[in-house]
Amino acid sequence: MQPIGLKPAGAFSAPEREAVYRAIHERRDVRGQFLPDPIDDAVLARLLAAAHAAPSVGLSQPWNFLVIRDAGVRGEIRTAFERANDEAREMFEGGRRALYSALKLQGISEAPLNLCITCDRRRGGPVVLGRTHDTDTDLYSTVCAVQNLWLAARAEGIGVGWVSIFRDADLRRILGLPEHVVPVAYLCLGHVTELFDAPELEARGWATRHALAQMTCTDRWGGPAWEPAAG
Ligand SMILES: Cc1cc2c(cc1C)N(C[C@H](O)[C@H](O)[C@H](O)COP(=O)(O)O)c1[nH]c(=O)[nH]c(=O)c1N2
């Protein structure tokens, strides 16, 4: 066996920790505040490298990154969004429908760059370590890549908006995806100078964030609430 390299794994310094948590807590889904300035290739390379550093089941790295700049392709994607969004609107009733209609849910044309992160369901062959009993773990791995990119983008001053209001067949046709490749995340990217200080859907009265205490319990589903230590 080859010797395995190890390096020290102590806690980060306080400013480093602060920066990591800042990226996590200040990351926002961006729909409408994109500046038209192009994203530098070096910045894009860092974002893709961050995505590509994500954990993946059996180290299968099932993702691919489709960098979409072409205005024609983005126009088709925008049309596909409008079609699905018309259907989505009808799924809500009354006041919710009116509120939904007022929400801006994508920045496909405004953002200077679109990126589709896909999952190749054949990557790693028919039997992948860790995927033997949960075949969706390749999709989960791909979502880890999305989140890495989203956090790195916050640190770079790049806004990212995830758009999922599409018919799967439309995305596949427009992007020419083979059947074994799943479009996991369609993202709009661009420089931003301002971000909402809370989720925009909360600011616009669509939904509220749950308290962490409501989401945590001990030992079993519905068990006693887990209380964070003071300080
Ligand atoms: C899988 C998935 C899919 C979507 C989203 C997110 C995720 C994780 N979000 C963004 C979502 O609305 C947003 O993350 C939450 O409202 C929380 O806000 P912040 O991300 O904290 O700003 C999103 N937003 C939007 O405007 N249109 C969309 O189609 C989607 N789709």
**Spacing, Cα 229 to ligand 1 middle (Å):** 30
Is 41 within the bounds of a domain?
A: yes
Q: What is the predicted pLDDT for the residue at 151? A: 98
| Residue to mutate, 26, 27, 29, ligand 1, most ligand atoms under 8 Å from C-beta | 29
1 has a pLDDT exceeding 80:
no
pLDDT interval class at 225 (50, 70, 90): confident
**Spacing, Cα 97 to ligand 1 middle (Å):** 18
The number of the ligand 1 atom at minimal distance from the alpha carbon of 196 is: 22
Phi, psi of 160 (to 5 degrees): -130, 135
Q: Which of 66, 50, 65 shows the shortest CA–CA distance to 144?
A: 50
Taking CA atoms only, the protein residue closest to ligand 1 atom 3 is 164
Weakest-pLDDT range from 67-71, 73-77, 120-124, 212-216: 212-216
Is 19 within the bounds of a domain?
A: no
Is 225 within the bounds of a domain?
A: no
Is 223 within the bounds of a domain?
A: no
Number of domains in the chain: 1
Is 207 within the bounds of a domain?
A: no
Q: What is the predicted pLDDT for the residue at 206? A: 98
Is 39 within the bounds of a domain?
A: yes
What's the distance, Cα to Cα, between the start and end of the chain in Å? 45
Q: How many CB atoms lie within 10 A of CB 34?
A: 22
Q: For residue range 182-199, what is the model confidence (pLDDT) as tens digits?
A: 999 999 999 999 999 999
Question: What residue numbers bound the domain in which 76 lies?
Answer: 27-194
Is 2 within the bounds of a domain?
A: no
CB 174, CB 77: distance < 8 Å: yes
**Spacing, Cα 223 to ligand 1 middle (Å):** 30
pTM over 0.80, yes/no: yes
CB 167, CB 200: distance < 8 Å: no
Ligand 1 pocket (Cβ < 6 Å) reads: 28-29, 31, 105-106, 162-165, 199-201
Instruction: Supply 57's token pair.
Output: 């089941």
Domain holding 58: CATH number?
A: 3.40.109.10
Is 7 within the bounds of a domain?
A: no
Q: For residue range 27-75, what is the model confidence (pLDDT) as tens digits?
A: 999 999 899 999 999 999 999 999 999 999 999 999 999 999 999 999 9
2 has a pLDDT exceeding 80:
no
Residue scoring higher pLDDT (226 or 155): 155
Q: What is the predicted pLDDT for the residue at 231? A: 67
